[in-house]
């Protein structure tokens, strides 16, 4: 059974979901590709508390790397893309082409982009750090304002004070 809880954050109320196997999901209030919640139940779990603590530290600029057991559900290709995201450093951005090269599939940019867009663990596996080759902020499951906020928080973009204010 997957347990979930909500966490208030600067990018809206996040839904965190976990089992003893690891963290399954971090969802934005409006997710482009919401996770199937069949069998989910609201409840307490130590991993949910740890995830909330680490996300709070991240939003307070006190954490740059997450240290959580992860259990994302997806195809082998998707999981490979998602785990590669963890290697994109705090405050760093890369293009979809660079991400495709990092997974050893340089011609699979569209497939990499699709997998990136279905990342069930955004922020923790930082898909927001993948941008267009021209530096543009391209699609993001949590919305472009959230992507911009996260990149500004990390110093990858100059801050705009009025984004969520």
> Where in the sequence numbering do the catalytic residues fall?
127
Query: Around Cβ 106, how many Cβ atoms within 10 Å?
Result: 13
Kindly give, in sequence order, each residue whose CB lies less than 8 Å from that of residue 130, ignoring residues fewer than 6 positions away. 85, 88, 93, 94, 95, 96, 99, 116, 138
In terms of C-beta density within 10 A (0-12 exposed, 13-18 middle, 19 or more buried), how is residue 107 classed?
exposed
């Amino acid at each position: 059974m997957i347990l979930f809880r909500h966490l208030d954050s600067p990018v809206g109320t996040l839904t965190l979901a976990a089992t003893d196997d690891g963290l399954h999901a971090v969802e934005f209030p409006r997710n482009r590709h919401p996770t199937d919640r069949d069998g989910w139940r609201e409840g307490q779990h130590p991993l949910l508390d740890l995830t909330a603590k680490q996300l709070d530290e991240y939003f307070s600029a006190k954490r740059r790397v997450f240290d959580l057991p992860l259990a994302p559900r997806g195809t082998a290709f998707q999981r490979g893309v998602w785990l590669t995201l963890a290697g994109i450093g705090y405050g760093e951005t890369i293009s979809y082409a660079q991400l495709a090269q990092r997974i050893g599939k340089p011609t699979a940019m569209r497939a990499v982009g699709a997998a990136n867009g279905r990342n069930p663990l955004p922020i923790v596996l930082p898909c927001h750090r993948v941008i267009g080759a021209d530096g543009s902020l391209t699609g993001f499951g949590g919305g472009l304002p959230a992507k911009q906020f996260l990149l500004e928080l990390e110093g990858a973009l100059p801050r705009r004070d009025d984004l969520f204010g």
